[in-house]
Chains A and B, each alone.
Chain A
Amino acid sequence: MAKVDSWSEIGLVSITAQSGSAVEFKTLTETVDIDIGDKDFDTIATLAGGRVVKFTPEEPVEITLEAYPVEAGTDTGAVGKGFFDLLHTQDATQGVSISVDHTRSKYRMSLLWTDASVATAETALTVSGVDSGLRIMCSDGFFTSAKPSFTDGILKWTVKYKVPAFDKSAAANVKIESTDGTAALAAPAAYSSTAKW
């Protein structure tokens, strides 16, 4: 049985570029909404009154963040500073300047709720630390939207990340894992074109 009654108030959001290292966005983020794709089906009514099930392929997962960055993008470091570079080309120098372009880059997004004190959502939870936690991981996804708004008198960005359920080779792009504290939850492997996690 898990040590906690619920996951509330705090969590971690890590975004990793392919071949890069995890960048933590919890400091900027207020809300996270995870729209796991439906694994639906239709029914076909037969003349005998029966139903034949016609499966619908699993839909993509879409994660929406509401965040309050003060910069255009993250020039360097393990702490996220902005979101606009996630849709276009990253700029590694100040002043950060990001123009719209046709670049589409793959990212891994990890969300972690834990009672352990960890730096990123991609950190291992250990048995010796008796850490429990729940992690949602999506790999080979793309950022599809980053919209700033100032309607509430504060500059808020609504950011959308979308990932197909499977890649072209039918390997899973999404997984949810947890530990109740009696077993370790390993850290994912470094994200590359050959390793999703």
Chain B
Amino acid sequence: MYKVTNKLNQRVKLGDIIFSAGETKELETKPYSDKFIVEEIKGKSNSDKIVEEIKQEKKPTKFKENKE
């Protein structure tokens, strides 16, 4: 996650997201524009959490050996 702040004293559009002057929003993707101040929020990103959840769901099921 990224803490994204519009550094300009005017409205700026980032794709479909509109930042008013000086506004801060938390975004999952990092914007590559000098119109913003970007700080990474420490900890797991949303995408990390999703990957972990998928891994847990796909754990192989252990089958007991058929001793017949």
What residues make up the interface of A, taking CB atoms closer than 8 Å to B?
17-21, 75-78, 89-93, 97-98, 101, 103, 105-106, 192-193
Among residues of B, the one whose C-beta sits closest to the C-beta of A90 is B12
Contacting residues of chain B (1-55) with chain A, CB-CB under 8 angstroms: 7-15, 18, 21-22, 31-36
CA distance A21 to B34 in the complex (A): 9
Inter-subunit contact B8/A76 (CB<8 Å): no
CA distance A92 to B15 in the complex (A): 7
- Looking at chain B's contact residues, the main secondary structure is loop
CA distance A21 to B8 in the complex (A): 9
Inter-subunit contact A92/B36 (CB<8 Å): yes
* CB-defined contacts of A90 to chain B, threshold 8 Å: 8, 10-13, 35
CA distance A90 to B34 in the complex (A): 12
Inter-subunit contact B7/A20 (CB<8 Å): yes
Among residues of B, the one whose C-beta sits closest to the C-beta of A78 is B34
A-B residue pairs, 7 tightest by C-beta:
A92-B33, A105-B10, A76-B33, A18-B9, A19-B9, A91-B13, A89-B11
Contact-size category for B: 10 to 19
CA distance A106 to B10 in the complex (A): 8
* CB-defined contacts of B22 to chain A, threshold 8 Å: 19
Inter-subunit contact B34/A19 (CB<8 Å): no
Inter-subunit contact B9/A76 (CB<8 Å): no
* CB-defined contacts of A19 to chain B, threshold 8 Å: 7-9, 21-22
CA distance A161 to B43 in the complex (A): 46
CA distance A101 to B35 in the complex (A): 19
Inter-subunit contact B35/A76 (CB<8 Å): yes
Q: Given A89-B18, A92-B14, A93-B15, A192 and B9 touching (CB < 8 A)?
A: yes
Q: Which of B11, B34, B36 has the most CB of A within 10 A?
A: B34
Inter-subunit contact B11/A18 (CB<8 Å): no
